[in-house]
Structure 1
């Protein structure tokens, strides 16, 4: 997963950063760990989310909605 910039859409809506309004992101998978699963050494089984890191300011947006679409962008 990437260090390449992507643009993101949810249906017909193009997403922008909540902080700086930038429209380029870097994608990363993020585990949503719970204390109980960590304690039992089963954190790998926790739910994951798509982390979108704003290319401009670095703010991290998390999405568990699988309907988001990522599109390659030229920086």
Structure 2
């Protein structure tokens, strides 16, 4: 199971734009373009970091290379 993370860009901590939660799970997301897919170069598309809100599931996408992820311990409650 995914571990929760907190995220920041510089000194600004990321909060969910929907529920204001501050815990996320992260994953790489391909930003596919149909032109690259048609030509067989889908592997060359740009990637983003997807932050999925631990509370509500809203997905946030970041291509900012300054995004930092910080592992946290999640209570079992």
Q: Flag structure 1 segments of 5+ consecutive residues without an equivalent.
A: none
TM norm structure 2: 0.92
Q: Flag structure 2 segments of 5+ consecutive residues without an equivalent.
A: none
1:43 is the counterpart of 2:35: no
Partner Cα distance (2:73, 2:21) in 1: 14
List per-residue Cα deviations over 1:6-54 (Å, max 9, x = no partner). 0001111111000000000001000000010110121110000000000
Match of residue 58 from structure 2: 59
Number of aligned residue pairs: 74
Match of residue 32 from structure 2: 33
TM norm structure 1: 0.94
Partner Cα distance (2:43, 2:57) in 1: 26
RMSD: 1.0
